[in-house]
Amino acid sequence: MGMSVTISAATVQDAEQILKLQFLCYQSEAELYGDYSIEPLTQSLDSLKEELAGGTVLVARLREEVVASVRATVDADGTARIGKLIVHPRMQRHGLGGRLLDAIEARLTEGGAAKSFQLFSGHRSEHNLRLYRKHGYERVSTERVDERLSLVTLVKDARAGAFAASA
């Protein structure tokens, strides 16, 4: 990549940049499934700010620019639900998505909060599915949403060497 990207907790001041990046990143997903009404493309700024306040949100910055982001919440039983892992198109295929995934897993396991990780992806999103498998996630179910989309749910035990797969 050649440039130093830093990963840190997102702030409410990052909300607009995250939302714009999300809109850019999910265009390819919308095209892949022929559906431009997906939630990441219709999410409001207020809704994103609520996610920032109620969960764990990390960003990757190149200087001042937010170039990647990921969000998660941990429920009462210790399941960390990871979502909206996005990387700016010009920054993809350089390992940044994997670094961000590792970083949020590490953050969520501090103090033993997360016992397991769960995420999902569309069935045609092969790059995403490959990244998750590479990082130790296993497919546990596939749910057909409609004729265009099936959601693949993947899980990983936080105690079973959560970060070994990425080494």
What residues have CB less than 8 Å from 111, skipping those under 6 apart?
none
Residue 160, pLDDT score: 65
DSSP string for the chain: --S-EEEEE--GGGHHHHHHHHHHHTHHHHHHHT-TT-HHHH--HHHHHHHHHHSEEEEEEETTEEEEEEEEEE-TTSEEEEEEEEE-GGGTTSSHHHHHHHHHHHHHHGGG--SEEEEEEETT-HHHHHHHHHTT-EEEEEEE-SSS-EEEEEEEETTTTTTGGG-
Q: Domains of the chain, with CATH numbers?
A: 5-166 (3.40.630.30)
Residue 167, pLDDT score: 36
Q: Are 30 and 1 in contact (CB under 8 A)?
A: no
Residue 2, pLDDT score: 52
User: What pTM value is reported for the model?
Assistant: 0.90
pLDDT tens-digit series, residues 18-48: 999 999 999 999 999 999 999 999 999 999 9
Q: How far is CA 145 from the centre of its chain?
A: 20
Q: Are 70 and 104 in contact (CB under 8 A)?
A: yes
Residue 165, pLDDT score: 39
Q: Are 62 and 2 in contact (CB under 8 A)?
A: no
Residue 146, pLDDT score: 87
| Binned average pLDDT, 10 residues per bin, the chain of 167 residues | 83 96 95 92 96 95 96 95 96 94 94 92 93 96 91 90 42
Let me know if 115 is exposed, middle or buried by CB neighbors in 10 A (0-12, 13-18, 19+): middle
